[in-house]
Amino acid sequence: MVGFSRLSLIATVAGSVSAQLQKPLFTPSEEVLEADYTGSKPLVDTEALQARIKIDSLQKRAEALYEIAKSSEEEFGHPTRVIGSEGHRRTLEYVTSEIGKLGDYYKFSTQAFPAVMGQVFQSRLVLGHIVPESAYPSGSMSLTPPTHHKEPVYADLALVDNVGCDASDFPEEVSGKIAFIKRGKCSFGTKSELAGSAGAVAAIIYNSEAGGLSGTLGTPSPNHVATFGLSGKDAGPVLEKLKAGDSVDSIAFIDSVVNTINTTNIIAQTTEGDPDNCVMVGGHSDSVTDGPGINDDGSGSLTILEVATQLTYYSVKNCVRFAWWAGEEEGLLGSDYYVATLPDDENMKIRLFMDYDMMGSPNYALQVYNATNAVNPTGSEQLRDLYTNWYTSKGLNYTYIPFDGRSDYDAFIRNGIPGGGIATGAEGIKTKEEESMFGGKAGDWYDPCYHQLCDDVGNVNATAWLLNTQLVAHSVATFAASFDDFPKRETTKAASLVGFDLWIDIERQSQRDNTFFCLIGDELQQQGFGVVGRNFLALDDLDRYIHLRFEYS
C-alpha cells in the first residue's frame, strides 16, 4: 500500500519509450506447460473454490517470494522488490512462470510503461546539536533530489509562513537557508518546489501532529530541493526556538538519485467467459525499497495468484481478468497507466474491479472499503455488501475503512468502474474496540513492519491471510458465474452529484492525516477548496464537524 500524499508519476504514454525491461521476462510460450486445463469443467461454485484454498500453498508462495527479494541484496544491501530491482524483475518472472504453467486457460499479456523512481543512499540531518530520529528521507520523502553536489550543506533554518503553499509564504531570508515548512493544504512536492524557487538549499517538512511523516515529492521538478520529513514531536523544540527569534544552525545531507525506468504490469484473462462482462482483480507486485514486502503486497499478489490457479478447475460464464500492478509503491503507477490507456469501449467491459492489498497484517482488523453508490460508481456498494455478508455468514466481525486513494482501486473508481476491496491494516493504530473485535493489541500498528525490512515471511498472520483468500475466492467465483442483480455499467466517469449535502466527522475519517478523501476533489478545487494531491480535501483550518453543500453536475 502506498503512503499518503502520492502523486501520479507516469512519465509518458505507451509507445513513446522502449517497452523493454532491463532484462527480459519469460513468456508463457517459453514455459513447459505442466497440465492441460482444457475440456469440460463444472461452472465455478463459490464453496468449491473456497475449499481449494490452503494455507500451506500460500505460505510456500511467500517463502518463494522472500527468496526472490533476497536477489536484490547485492545492489541494495537487503531484500527488496522495489521496481527496477532484481527482486522485482524476478517477481515478474515468477508470476509469469506460474501463469504459464496453467496452459491455455488464460490469455497472458504484459504492459510496459515508464516510471519515475528514486533511491536514497545516505542521509543525515542535524538541527542544532540534535540528530532527530524521524528525519529519514528514504522512508519519509521519496523522490527527493540530493543536496548540492551530494555534499552536506551548512545553514540556519528559516521558518516559512503559513504552510508553504504560496510563493508569498517564503520570505527573502529563506534564500541560502534550510526552509522549515509545516505540513498541510498542498502536496509535499509543491512545498519543496517553492522552497527551491525561493533559494533554499534544502527543506524540512514537519508534521502537524506528534507522529512521523511519510510521502513523496511526486513528479520531479528542477526546483525541488533535498527534502526531509520530520515528526511533530521532533519539530516542537525547534519551532519554539525559531518563533522566539533564535537561530538554529543545521546540517543537511542527502545522497540520492531520481531517474526514469521501464517496468511492467502483468495481465491474465480467462480464455473462456463473456469478454464483454469482465471481473477484474488486482494486487501489486512491487515493494518499497526498504523491505521485501511479503505482507505489502506479497500477501495480496500471491492471494490472487493462488485463486487464479485454483480457478482453472472450473469454467466461467464471465471473463475473469487478474492483474499484477507494478509501481504501486511509487504512486499507483501501474494501475493508473492501465486505466489511462483503456479506450472507452474496453473500460465499459470491466464490470467491477476488486483490489487486494495487505491480506495478512500481524495485528489485523478485517477491513472493508466503505463504498457507496452515492459517491462511487454504481455497483461499488453491492460489492461492499458482498464482503460484509460473507464475514457475517462466518460469524466474523468487520470494520469499514474509507476510500483514501492509497491503493490501486483509485484509477478505476475515478473512471466510472465500480470498485472495492478488503484489507487488514497498515500503519494505523488498532483501537480498543478493534481489539475486542479481532484480538491483537490495541495501541499498536496493524502491521508493525509496514514498509520496513521486517516485512518478511514471519510478518503475515496465517489466520487472516487464509480467511481473506477464501473471501477473494468467493468474490471471484460469485461474479465469474453471474452478474445477476449487479448494476450495469453506464458511464466511464466518476459519480457526479448535484446539491449533495455532506456532514464530515473528522474523527471517523482520516484524522491522523487531517484530510478527508473525496473522489470529487477536482470539482472542489475548482470551487476554491484546498485539495491535497488530487484526491484529498484539506481540513486543517476547519472545525471538527463540517457541513458542506456540493452544487455541481
Catalytic residue positions, numbered: 328
CB-CB contact of 200 with 179 (8 Å): yes
**Grid cell at residue 376:** 462511487
Question: What's the rounded Cα separation, in Å, for the pair 201 and 194?
Answer: 12
β-strand partners of 127: 130, 250
Question: What's the rounded Cα separation, in Å, for the pair 365 and 246?
Answer: 46
Dihedral angle, C-alpha 366, 372, 375, 376, nearest 10 °: 70
Neighbours of 368 (CB within 10 A): 22
Q: Which residue is associated with the grid cell 473462456?
A: 272
Q: What is the CA radius of gyration of the chain?
A: 23
CB-CB contact of 445 with 363 (8 Å): yes
**Grid cell at residue 240:** 519554539
β-strand partners of 203: 179, 227
CB-CB contact of 131 with 124 (8 Å): yes
DSSP state of 28: G
> Which strand (E) or helix (H) includes residue 481?
helix 462-481
Q: What is the DSSP string of 248-276?
A: -EEEEEEEEEEEEEEEEEEEEEESSSEEE
Q: Given CA atoms 488, 492, 497, 502 in this order, what sign does their dihedral have?
A: positive
β-strand partners of 182: 206
β-strand partners of 111: 265
CB-CB contact of 302 with 61 (8 Å): yes
55-69 and 300-311 helices, crossing angle to 10°: 130
**In 305-338, which positions are buried (b, 16+ CB within 10 angstroms) versus exposed (e)?**
bbbbbbbbebbbebbbbbbbbbbbbbbbbbbbbb
Beta strands in 271-417 (DSSP E): 274-284, 318-325, 350-356, 367-369, 399-401
Neighbours of 131 (CB within 10 A): 12
Q: Which residue is associated with the grid cell 518472472?
A: 93
CB-CB contact of 401 with 423 (8 Å): yes
DSSP state of 168: G
Question: Residue 123 CA to chain centroid, in angstroms?
Answer: 25
**Grid cell at residue 81:** 522488490
| Apex 504 CA angle, 500 and 508, nearest 5 | 140
3-state secondary structure at position 184: coil
β-strand partners of 502: 548
Residue 388 has φ and ψ, to the nearest 5°, of -65, -35
